[in-house]
């Protein structure tokens, strides 16, 4: 049995790596934790970009050797 969940407005999980209930629950908790960590970081660093924009920047720059604040504030089109 495969479990698929979507929480509009917060995040969406497009695919699960596993078919069991435990795999789905684990991945949802990971997504919630990442969302909360990004929200806390946004508040701590006083970043004006939306959470969606920050998550998009992090998804494409995950392997760049650049400080987080520099990656988030390097271009004006992110705001």
pLDDT in tens, 11-30: 555 666 777 888 888 888 99
**In this structure, is residue 54 part of a structural domain?**
yes
Residue-wise DSSP of the chain: -----EETTTEE----SSSSHHHHHHHHHHHHHHHHHHHHHHHHHT--S-HHHHHHHHHHSTT--S-HHHHHHS-GGG-
Number of Cβ within 10 Å of residue 72's Cβ equals 22
Q: Residues 49, 76: contact at Cβ < 8 Å?
A: no
Q: Are 43 and 64 in contact (CB under 8 A)?
A: no
The pLDDT assigned to 40 comes to: 94
Q: What is the pLDDT of residue 8?
A: 44
What digits encode the pLDDT tens for the residues 55-70? 888 888 778 888 877 8
Q: Tens digits of per-residue pLDDT, 24-57?
A: 888 889 989 999 999 998 999 888 888 998 888 8
Give the number of domains in the chain: 1
**Would 41 be classed as within a structural domain?**
yes
- Is 50 a member of any domain? yes
State if pTM tops 0.85. no
């Amino acid at each position: 049995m495969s479990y698929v969940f979507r929480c509009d407005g917060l995040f969406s999980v497009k695919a699960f790596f596993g078919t069991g209930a435990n795999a789905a629950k684990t991945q949802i908790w990971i997504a919630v934790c990442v969302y909360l960590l990004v929200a806390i970081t946004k508040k701590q660093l006083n970043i004006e970009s939306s959470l969606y924009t920050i998550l998009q920047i992090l998804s494409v720059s995950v392997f760049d050797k650049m400080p987080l604040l520099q990656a988030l504030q390097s271009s004006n089109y992110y705001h």
